[in-house]
């Protein structure tokens, strides 16, 4: 996976990353030129806190010792950045947390996000699963719920 190779280039070992079930990676991890160019969206910070509150073993760039800028977008778009599910966690749990977050943050309001953008990767599956979404928030919630239901709480992944 390109994202993990980039993390290793920043000095974060695969062993260190494997300590977590979910990683919230800098949004531009695949395209940065200098370490100082890395950033994550304010929305990523919010969803990261929700995962922590739900006792999911997760890390963001700061937890891994990488300084990033926080980008605050002033629009009704929801940029969730790059989320990597890597540990031997039950996949349906993070997917449900993510869909509930999007619903609570955007769809329960009178003016839902015009667009939601997320890059989701499941590492440890063969073949690796990658999901990039850019569309309305309601569609994203339906897809995430469908993926979580399909997974059905079956971890099926091991180290």
Q: What is the pLDDT of residues 19-75, one digit of tens each?
A: 899 999 888 888 888 888 999 988 899 999 999 999 999 999 999 988 999 988 877
On whether residue 13 sits in a domain, the answer given is yes
CB 134 within 8 A of CB 115: yes
- Confidence class of residue 153 from pLDDT cuts 50, 70 and 90? very low
On whether residue 157 sits in a domain, the answer given is no
On whether residue 158 sits in a domain, the answer given is no
Helix intervals (H) in 14-78: 14-17, 42-53
* Predicted model pTM: 0.81
Specify the number of domains making up the chain: 1
On whether residue 155 sits in a domain, the answer given is no
- Confidence class of residue 154 from pLDDT cuts 50, 70 and 90? very low
Q: How far apart are CA 62 and CA 112, in angstroms?
A: 30
On whether residue 35 sits in a domain, the answer given is yes
Using alpha carbons, select from 14, 13, 43 the residue that is nearest to residue 27: 43
Over 60: is that where the pLDDT of 124 sits? yes
- Confidence class of residue 108 from pLDDT cuts 50, 70 and 90? confident
Task: Please state, for a pLDDT cut of 90, what percent of the chain lies above it.
Answer: 19
Q: What is the pLDDT of residue 38?
A: 92
Q: What is the pLDDT of residue 22?
A: 92
Over 50: is that where the pLDDT of 157 sits? no
Q: What is the pLDDT of residue 156?
A: 41
CB 124 within 8 A of CB 91: no
Q: What is the pLDDT of residue 126?
A: 57
The continuous run of DSSP H or E covering 149 comes out as helix 137-151
Domain range spanning residue 104?
2-150
Q: What is the pLDDT of residue 158?
A: 33
Over 80: is that where the pLDDT of 152 sits? no
- Confidence class of residue 136 from pLDDT cuts 50, 70 and 90? confident
Q: What is the DSSP letter of 31?
A: T
Q: What order of strands is seen across the sheet that includes strand 129-135? A: 58-60, 22-25, 77-85, 115-122, 129-135
On whether residue 156 sits in a domain, the answer given is no
On whether residue 159 sits in a domain, the answer given is no
On whether residue 7 sits in a domain, the answer given is yes
């Amino acid at each position: 996976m390109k994202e993990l190779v980039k993390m290793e280039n920043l000095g974060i070992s695969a062993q260190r990353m494997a300590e977590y079930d979910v990683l919230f990676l800098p949004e531009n991890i695949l395209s940065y030129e200098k370490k100082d160019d890395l950033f994550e969206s304010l929305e990523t910070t919010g969803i990261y806190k929700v995962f922590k509150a739900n006792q999911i073993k997760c890390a963001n760039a700061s937890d891994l010792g990488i300084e990033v800028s926080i980008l605050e977008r002033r629009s009704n778009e929801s940029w969730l950045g790059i989320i990597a599910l890597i540990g031997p966690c039950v996949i349906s749990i993070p997917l449900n947390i993510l869909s509930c977050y999007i619903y609570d943050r955007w769809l329960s309001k009178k003016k839902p996000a015009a667009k939601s953008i997320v890059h989701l990767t499941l590492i440890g599956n063969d073949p690796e699963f990658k999901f990039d979404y850019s569309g309305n928030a309601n569609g994203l919630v339906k897809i995430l719920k469908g993926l979580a239901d399909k997974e059905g709480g079956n971890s099926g992944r091991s180290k």
